[in-house]
Amino acid sequence: MSDFDLIVIGSGPGGYVAAIRASQLGLKTAIVERAELGGICLNWGCIPTKALLKSGEVYEQLSHLSDYGLSVKGAGFDFPKIIERSRGVAATMNKGVTFLMKKHKVEVIAGTAKLERGSPAPKVVVALTAGGSRTVTAKNVILATGARAREIPTVGLASDGDRIWTYRDALAPKALPKTLVVIGSGAIGIEFASFYRALGSEVTVIEAVDRILPVEDEEVSKAARKAFEKRGIAFRVGAKVTKLGKSKSGVTVDLEVGGKAETLQAEVAIVAVGIAANTEDLGLEALGVKLDRGHVATNGHCATNVPGLYAIGDVAGAPWLAHKASHEGVHCVEHIAGLKPANLNTPIPGCTYANPQVASIGLTEAAAKAAGYDVKAGRFPFRVNGKAVAAGETEGFVKTVFDGKTGALLGAHMIGHEVTEMIQGFGVAITLEATEEDLMATVFAHPTMSEAMHEAVLDSFGRVLHL
Amino acid sequence: MSIEILMPALSPTMEEGTLAKWHVKAGDTVKAGDVIAEIETDKATMEVEAVDEGVIEALLVEAGTENVKVNAPIARLAGEGEAPAPTPAAKAPEAPKVEAPKTAPAPAAAPAPAPTPTAIPAPKADGERVFASPLARRLAQAAGLDLKTIAGSGPHGRVIKADVDAARGKASSSAKATEDKPSAAPARQVQSLEQMGIAPGSYDLVPLDGMRKTIARRMTDSFRDVPHFPLTIDVEIDALLAARVKINAMLEKDGVKVSVNDLVIKAVATALRRVPEANASYTPEGIALHHHADIAMAVAIDGGLITPIIRSAETKGLAQIAVEAKDLAARARDKKLKPEEFQGGTFSISNMGMMGIKQFASIINEPQGCILSVGAGEQRPVVKDGQLAVATVMTVTLTCDHRVVDGAIGAKFLQAFKPLIEDPLTMIV
C-alpha cells in the first residue's frame, strides 16, 4: 500500500501546479521541496525579475516625462530598496504557494529527495531539511526538479557570487555595478541588461551567434538590437568568450569576434549561457532513468522509461519556461488520472520582459520557410497605431506568419510596449486552429495596441488598412 | 405494453405520404401479415401489414390524412402483454412492413431498397452541427472530405487539423494505390447539366453530403474496377413461411420475432460454411478466405443506406440473428451505429422484396466477393411433376467478383443456399 497516489519532487511552476491538479482530481498528493515553495520562478526567476524590471521601466520613463508635458525634479532611486521590493514580491508569491498547498491538502515535505527502486513507482527517500530522513511511497512520482544556470568552468564561466554572477546573484546584489558584461543574449541575459542599463550601468552583451535573442524571428532580433542600442546597451555578436578572468577591480573578458581578439573590462559579469537540468543526486543512474542530452527523456505523456516515474518542466527539456512546465504538469497528472489531457505539443509562447518587450509564439518566418510552407508574412508597426502614438509607445511592431496554402497561423512575433500581454490572443488563435479568415473577421477594440495584431494579419494577405 | 406503429418509408426519398385507408379499427385483433392500412405516395399505393400480433388500441391518424411524416406514429397496438416493454430502439423495426400487393408475408426485417451497400464512418445526421476547427474545416474542404465522416479528437470531439490530416492520409494513400494501378482509368470528364442541354433553373440542386459522396465514390469504383457478374436462381419459400410461423410461435414467449430476412441471413451463413470459397475477398497478395460469415445487411436510412453487420452469423441461432438484426436496423436508422458495426463484413445481402422488386443485381460491396440480392416472394405458377401448380417463389441474384468467385463457385453457393431455404429444417443440422 502506497502512502500517496502521487509524489511530486520539486515545487516550481511545474511541480506545484501538478500537485494542485492532482488534488483536484482526488489524488492523495505530496510535494517535496528542498528550498522555497514555488521554485526558481517565484523566488529567483520570473517574478522577482519582473519587479526589478518595473523599477527600471518607471525610472526610464522619468527621463521622458517632458514628452508628456510633465516635469519632475530630483528623480533618483534607492538601489537597495529596489532589490528589497523585488524580494518582497517573491516572498508574497511564495506565501501564495504555501497557501495553495494547504488549501488543496497537498502535503509539503521539506527536504531533498532521492529515488530508490520500488513498485509501482520508485520509492522517495527524503533527507529532511529539519534533520533525519523519511521514506515515502506513491503510485506515481513526478520529477519536477527544474534546472540551474549553466556554467562553463573551462573558460572561467563559473559564478563566484562576487564578480561573476548568475541570475541568482544578479537578483540581489549588494550594490549597483557601474560596468557590466552580460554573457548570453537570451531572455535572461537581455532582461538583466535592460534592468541594469535603465539604472545607469554601462552594459555590454556578448552573444555567440550572429544576432541577439537568437530564438526570435530575425526581424525582431534586429529591431530589439536597435532598440537596446538606442538605450545605450553595447553588443558583441558572433563573439566567443575565450577567457573570463577576475581582476582586482572586476572582471576581464577575453573575446574572439570574427577572428579578432578583444578584451572587455567590467566590474561584474553575468553568466546567462543557458541552463543545466537538475538530474544529479536523485538516484536516477541507479534506477536506470534514461537521459537525453542532459535532460530526463520522456515520451508523449511525460513518462520516463521507469514505470511510475514521470518528468516535467525544465528537467525534461526545452523550452525552459514556467508555463511549459505547468502545461506538462497538468497534462501528466490528467494522464495519470486516466483523463484525456490537452495536447502536449501545443505551441508555447515565449516572452522577454526587457524594455521594449518581446513576445512570440510558433514558427519564425525562417523556420516556416525551412519547413516548406508557402509563407505569407505581414507586419504592422506601432508607430502608426493610434493608441501607441497617444501613449508615446511607438517602438516595435507585430508580425504574423501564415501558411498561404491553408491559412493556418504558424507564428506571431512582437516587439513593443507590453506585447507580452498581447501574445495570448495569437496563442488562443493557434490553439483553436484559427485561419486568417477568422482573425480578419474578429473585431478588435479601438483604440488599442492590439489593433496592430489585426493589421499584421491583414498585411499578411495584402489587405493592411492603416499603412 | 403498447407498441406504436409508425408511418413507413416506402422509398429512401419518401418523407411523407397519405394514409389513404384503414383496414382495421380500434379493438380489432390483428396478427402478423394482416393488412391494416393503405398508404399512397405520388408513385403508388401500398398496403401496410402488421408485423406484431395484438389488439389495435387506437388509430392515431384518420383515413385520408395527407402529408403524414415518415416515422410518425399512426396507430397503437396493445401487445397482449406477451412482450416486455419495448425499448425505443426496438420500436422502429416494429413499424409495419410494406409490401407490394399480392405478395407473400413480409420477407424482410430490413427494408433495403437500394442495391448498393457501402461502408462509411458513422455519419452525423444532416443539420447536426459538426464541431471542427476553422483550419480543419478548410483542410477538409480542400481535400474533398466531409467533416461529418471524420472522428474528432479535439476537446468535446471537435475535429482538428490532425484528424483531417489522418483522414486525408488514408484517402491519399488509397488514391495513390489507384494511381499505381497501370490500368487505372483516367478521371472522367464530367459535363455540366447545362452543357448536356438541361436548362439552368429547371432543377433544384441538393448538396452532396458525406454519405452521398461515399456511396458515389465506392459504387463507382466497384462498378468500374470489379469484374462482376450476376447469377440468378428461383427458390420456393412456402416451407420457409410455414416454418417461420412455427418458429415465431415458439419464440413468442421470448418476445422474439424472426423475419424472412433473418432466415435468409441464416441460410446464407450456413451456405457460406459449406462453400467457404464464396466467403472471400480479392487482394493483390492473394485471395482472403474469411474465417467467419460476417453478414452485412443493407439498411435504407435517411439520405442513403448503410450495411450493419451480423458477425459470425454461422455460429448464431435464428433468434439471436433476429434480435441483432432488429437492433442494428433500428440503430442504423437512428444513425447510432458504431463504425465497427458497419465496417468489415465479408458478404452482403440486399433485400428489396418488400418493395415488390422481383429481381435485381446489386453492385459488389468491396472488398466482399459476393452480394445477394433478394427479390419479392410472390405466388407464381410452377410446373411440378408435369403439372401446373402455385408456389410462393422468391428470386435471388448473386453478384460475384470474378477475381475470387468464378461462376462455378457462385453456382455452388446458390446450390447450397436453395435447399436451405426450400427445406429450412436443413438449416438446423
Q: How confident is the model at residue B120 (pLDDT cuts 50, 70, 90)?
A: very low
CA–CA distance, A273 with A252 (Å, rounded to integer): 17
Q: Single out the residue of A233, A317, A322 nearest to residue A270, CA to CA.
A: A233
Q: How confident is the model at residue B285 (pLDDT cuts 50, 70, 90)?
A: confident
Stretch B189-197: mean pLDDT, rounded?
76
Q: How confident is the model at residue B90 (pLDDT cuts 50, 70, 90)?
A: very low
Check residue B118 and give its pLDDT: 37
Q: Residue A408 and residue B142: Cβ atoms within 8 Å?
A: no
Q: Residue B138 and residue A434: Cβ atoms within 8 Å?
A: no
| Cis status of the peptide bond prior to A319, with omega within 30 of 0 | yes
Q: How confident is the model at residue A66 (pLDDT cuts 50, 70, 90)?
A: very high
End-to-end CA distance of chain A: 68
Stretch A386-407: mean pLDDT, rounded?
96
Q: Which percentage of chain A shows pLDDT scores above 70? A: 100
Check residue B83 and give its pLDDT: 40
Stretch A398-421: mean pLDDT, rounded?
97
Q: Single out the residue of B1, B209, B198 nearest to residue B86, CA to CA.
A: B1
Is the confidence at residue A158, as pLDDT, over 90?
no
Beta pairing class for A350-352 and A309-311 = unpaired
> What is the set of active-site residues of B?
402
Q: CB count, 10 Å around CB of B263? A: 26
- Contact (CB, 8 A) for B341 and B296: no
Check residue B127 and give its pLDDT: 62
A323 is catalytic: no
Q: CB count, 10 Å around CB of A397? A: 23
Residue of A327, A446, A454, A466 marked active site: A446
As given in the structure block, the three cell numbers for residue B425 are: 429444417
**Does the residue B198 lie in any domain?**
no
Task: Round the average pLDDT of chain A to a whole number and report it.
Answer: 96
Q: Residue B160 and residue A408: Cβ atoms within 8 Å?
A: no
- B135 chain-A contacts, CB cut-off 8 A: 406-408, 433-435
**Does the residue B290 lie in any domain?**
yes
**Does the residue B332 lie in any domain?**
yes
One-letter amino acid at A290 equals K
**Does the residue B25 lie in any domain?**
no
Q: Give the pLDDT confidence of A426-445 residue by residue, as tens digits.
A: 999 999 999 999 999 999 99
In this complex, is the C-beta atom of B160 within 8 Å of any C-beta atom belonging to chain A? Answer: yes
**What is the 3-class SS of A243-266, one letter each residue?**
EEEECCCCEEEEEEECCEEEEEEE
Residues 353-412 of A with CB under 8 A from B: 406-408
**Does the residue B289 lie in any domain?**
yes
Is the confidence at residue B124, as pLDDT, over 70?
no
8-state DSSP, A8 = E
Highest mean pLDDT among A449-458, B291-300, B311-320: A449-458
Inter-helix orientation angle B407-422/B238-251, to 10°: 60
Domain limits at B307?
A: 228-428
Q: Residue A433 and residue B133: Cβ atoms within 8 Å?
A: yes
CA–CA distance, A173 with A177 (Å, rounded to integer): 9
8-state DSSP, A303 = B
Q: Residue A434 and residue B133: Cβ atoms within 8 Å?
A: yes
Q: Which residue is closest to A437 within chain B, CA to CA?
A: B134
Phi, psi dihedrals of residue A143, rounded to the nearest 5°: -85, 120
Stretch A42-70: mean pLDDT, rounded?
95
**Does the residue B251 lie in any domain?**
yes
Instruction: Provide CB contacts within 8 A for A274, sequence distance 6+.
Output: A149, A150, A184, A186
DSSP string for residues in B300-326: EETTEEE--EETTGGGS-HHHHHHHHH
Residues of chain B by 3-state class (helix, strand, coil), percent to 5: 35, 25, 40
Q: Which residue has the higher pLDDT, A273 or B124?
A: A273
Size of interface A-B (CB pairs under 8 A): 25
CA–CA distance, B120 with B108 (Å, rounded to integer): 23
CA–CA distance, A166 with B163 (Å, rounded to integer): 46
Is the confidence at residue A118, as pLDDT, over 80?
yes
Å between A439 CA and nearest CA of chain B: 11
As given in the structure block, the three cell numbers for residue B292 are: 467467419
Q: To 5 degrees, how large is the angle CA B199–CA B200–CA B204?
A: 110
Q: How confident is the model at residue B24 (pLDDT cuts 50, 70, 90)?
A: confident
Stretch A36-45: mean pLDDT, rounded?
95
Q: How confident is the model at residue B98 (pLDDT cuts 50, 70, 90)?
A: very low
Check residue B185 and give its pLDDT: 44
Residues in chain A: 467
**Does the residue B358 lie in any domain?**
yes
Q: Which residue is closest to A341 within chain B, CA to CA?
A: B155
CA–CA distance, B364 with B307 (Å, rounded to integer): 13
Instruction: Indicate the number of domains in chain B.
Output: 1
Q: Give the pLDDT confidence of B55-88 residue by residue, as tens digits.
A: 888 888 888 888 888 888 888 888 654 443 333 3
Is the confidence at residue A265, as pLDDT, over 90?
yes
Check residue A425 and give its pLDDT: 97
Q: Give the pLDDT confidence of A313-356 residue by residue, as tens digits.
A: 999 999 999 999 999 999 999 999 999 898 898 999 999 999 99
Q: What is the CATH number of the domain that holds B358?
A: 3.30.559.10
**Does the residue B20 lie in any domain?**
no
Is the confidence at residue B147, as pLDDT, over 60?
yes
Stretch A292-298: mean pLDDT, rounded?
95
- B139 chain-A contacts, CB cut-off 8 A: 406
CA–CA distance, B105 with B107 (Å, rounded to integer): 6
Query: Which ipTM was obtained for this model?
Result: 0.78
